[in-house]
Amino acid sequence: MPIRNVKTLGDPQLFKPTVAVTEYGSAVADDIQDMVDTMRDNKGVGLAANQIGIDKRIIIIEVNNNPRYPKQADIPLMVLINPEYHVIGDEKETFWEGCLSLPGLRGEVTRAVNISYQANDHLGNSFSTQANGFLARVIQHECDHLDGILLHQRLNDLKKFSYEKNL
């Protein structure tokens, strides 16, 4: 499948909420494969469909010895369609996040440490579970994309937004 261009800050599609998926299987297979190929080629750990021009509520997550996040444990490929999450408890953590749509930039963002989430898989089967730490952060970040929110809109302090090379 083709590796697509990742939309970057200023592209209006990044700020529009995406549309719920109603057809599964072959109807989303090519989109998902394009997302996986694009995310891996760009060394991302997550990608929302609208970041590559697909107006659907799909996110993917994978960490496999990722050079952008070398201290993070591996996470096998996850496909979440129509994901929703709910914060568990009050514990929050601040972390320097990156984003493929903001290449070369990092921002310090505070997010919930523990969440529960539900989604559908590529065949339309629904599931729910919990996540914590880095995985919970990535799910929240990618779900923000689906709602038209980028990480710079979550910053508490603009002084904590910088090019990676300056950190």
Distance, CA of 57 to CA of 139 (rounded, Å): 12
| Distances 91 to 112, 118, 124, 126 between C-alpha atoms, Å | 6, 20, 32, 27
> Quick check: 66 and 72 in contact, CB under 8 A?
yes
158 exposed, middle or buried (CB, 10 Å; 0-12, 13-18, 19+)? exposed
Local structure of 71: helix, strand or coil: coil
Separation of alpha carbons 160 and 14, rounded Å: 22
23, 97, 142, 164: the catalytic one is: 142
Task: Tell me if residue 93 is catalytic.
Answer: no
Strands (E), the chain: 46-48, 58-63, 75-87, 92-98, 105-112, 114-120, 126-132, 161-163
Report, as residue numbers or ranges, the catalytic residues: 142
